[in-house]
A and B are shown apart, each in its own frame.
Chain A
């Protein structure tokens, strides 16, 4: 399957593509433990085979996140990591990785504080491809959709297993690049078992969109990555990456590189 995200975006020059199945989407909380480490981690993940990087903007009140990303956000905020710094980091990563997809993953308030239009402008200039705002439902997103359209950024919305048909249609219709299917109800964080929820949701989404579908929330190891990869176009690994960073002080990038290498090795066999 070779579905370039360009197919489905308006006129986006988004370079990320899901040419290989499943694409690996890696989430990091920026500034945990500091921005230089985040940059090294991101480059190591790309080197090891990550196709898309989600640059997480730390927020004081991460209601959609489990304990691992909560702790990472606290660490990042302790030394004042800001949205502006995350965008500078994005530009640095873009300089060294032209073909990797870059998505800013944030709560709404930091974007509002910067100004939605200004954020989109700066993000696009930094080479960011897409944006995911965890706590902005599509029903309230008019201003955001307008700003992302003007600045040619792909808005990505979250679909939940509990979302009814109408809502899936609406959020998939507003999304560009890909749709993010939440594997199960709840917050981010590794889980032993993945619910059938994920597969059912992907099937329901296929009926309403031609966009690639990435599945995230709870995927933490190579087996789960391969399992989800059988029915999804992309797989998001977040908390497991953040936990790897937490557990390997001083050798974060190396450890993440190894971890991503293990994921993609199994992914290719599958």
Chain B
């Protein structure tokens, strides 16, 4: 608790500090590659025959995904707090790579916890983290995925809390993490809003983003929450079936509960034990969801739908072949939803899809599943 309070105090101070904001903006611009492009997906739009589709290109960022936005923000806080050791969890490895990157940039010691199942399916990212000087610690407990990596990172943090910052990678965990991580990703929606207004002179009819913990989606949704005519659509991992344990669609099979310091929708059994999840995409393979998404959903402001493993893989191929963009398997879930939705929308409508990351890390899994060889 003391460390959370220290973090909250420091974050509140930093937010009001123009030097902090300037430094973060400069790093985002000169190091991470912001602003990211908004791409009109001409051939995808033609192919689907409905709404005009725009892609927010977080995949073009340094390290390959939106995760760097939050990592740079928190790393500057670590510097302010005078800590030298940073730990993180990672699922797909994108957050781990982004954390290892900012630690190299600012000279921090870095330890990344990763489930051994995820290490297997994302082995290139494991190597990238090690190349960047981070120590990757495999986690053997539970389902050996993101949830278990968070457990282990939390255990490290409570043990070394005096010297260590836990650079949590999604809008999860105890306060202030969900709010702070969201704020560091709001830049996605801020840019997208200005870009789409410039390109189309109107707001999009819908915004679609994938939701694991929910950081890229809340980042792009947030600036549009008050625009009631903009539908906000989160896409969860539908996995390989509807039975519990076969997916990670918290709003389809979950119920309110507490996991890892967050009260939200949780995939759990009747005795309150957390269930294992499945998704082809390690970054969406998590039994709970950021609490702000739960609030948006309960308020009816955002809607959440599942896309299956197979649909995500199909969407990957389609986006690769129509636009020359290979999305991360996480982001491919959002593309799968636009494939269903755009044809039913008016041609005058605009739909915005967040491509939260690029697919380089997933080519091994894609190769196994798509059988193009």
A interface residues, Cβ below 8 angstroms from B = 59-64, 66, 70, 74, 77, 80, 82-84, 108-114, 135, 137, 139, 160, 162-164, 167, 185-187
Contact = CB atoms under 8 A, between A and B. Distances in A.
A112 B161 CA distance: 28
Contacts of B161: 162, 185
A61 B259 contact: yes
A60 B162 contact: no
B270 interface: yes
B257 A187 contact: no
Contacts of A185: 158-162
B216 interface: no
A157 to B, nearest CB: 11
The SS class assigned to the A binding surface is loop
B274 A60 contact: yes
B151 A61 contact: yes
Nearest to A108: B258
Contacts of A63: 151, 154-155, 260
B159 A162 contact: no
A108 B258 CA distance: 7
Which of A66, A74, A110 gathers most chain B CB within 10 Å? A110
Which of B1, B3, B159 gathers most chain A CB within 10 Å? B1
Contact of A109 (B147, B162, B257): B257
Contact of B158 (A60, A64, A167): A64
A172 to B, nearest CB: 14
Q: What 4 A-B pairs come out closest when comparing CB atoms?
A: A113-B272, A186-B159, A110-B272, A82-B271
B141 interface: yes
B142 A113 contact: no
Contacts of B151: 61-63
A57 B128 CA distance: 40
The SS class assigned to the B binding surface is mixed
Contacts of A187: 155, 158-159
B272 A167 contact: no
A164 B260 CA distance: 22
A119 to B, nearest CB: 10
B268 A109 contact: yes
Given A109-B268, A112-B272, 15 more contacts: A61-B148, A61-B260, A62-B151, A64-B158, A77-B273, A84-B271, A109-B259, A110-B272, A110-B273, A112-B258, A113-B271, A114-B272, A139-B1, A163-B2, A185-B158
A160 B158 CA distance: 10
Nearest to A163: B2
B300 interface: no
Nearest to B270: A113
A162 B162 CA distance: 8
11 contacts: A61-B147, A109-B274, A112-B256, A112-B258, A114-B272, A135-B258, A135-B261, A163-B1, A164-B2, A167-B2, A187-B158
Contact of A162 (B3, B260, B275): B3
A189 B57 CA distance: 46
B318 interface: no
Which of A139, A164, A186 gathers most chain B CB within 10 Å? A186
A205 B270 CA distance: 39
Contacts of B2: 160, 162-164, 167
A167 B141 contact: no
A80 B269 CA distance: 10
Nearest to A85: B271
B266 interface: yes
Interface string B109-148: 0000000000000000000000000000000011000011
A60 B275 CA distance: 8
Given A163-B1, A167-B1, A187-B159, A61 B274 contact: yes
A113 B257 contact: yes
A59 B159 CA distance: 20
Nearest to A81: B271
A83 B271 CA distance: 7
Interface in B270-301: 270-275
B357 to A, nearest CB: 26
Contacts of B258: 108-109, 112, 135
A164 B5 CA distance: 10
A249 to B, nearest CB: 22
Contacts of B274: 60-61, 109
A61 B155 CA distance: 11
Contact of A70 (B3, B141, B268): B141
Contacts of A113: 257, 268, 270-272
Nearest to B141: A70
B106 to A, nearest CB: 25
B117 to A, nearest CB: 16
B1 A110 contact: no
Interface string B42-73: 00000000000000000000000000000000
A108 B261 CA distance: 10
Contact of A186 (B142, B158, B256): B158
A114 B160 CA distance: 34
Contacts of B1: 137, 139, 160, 163, 167
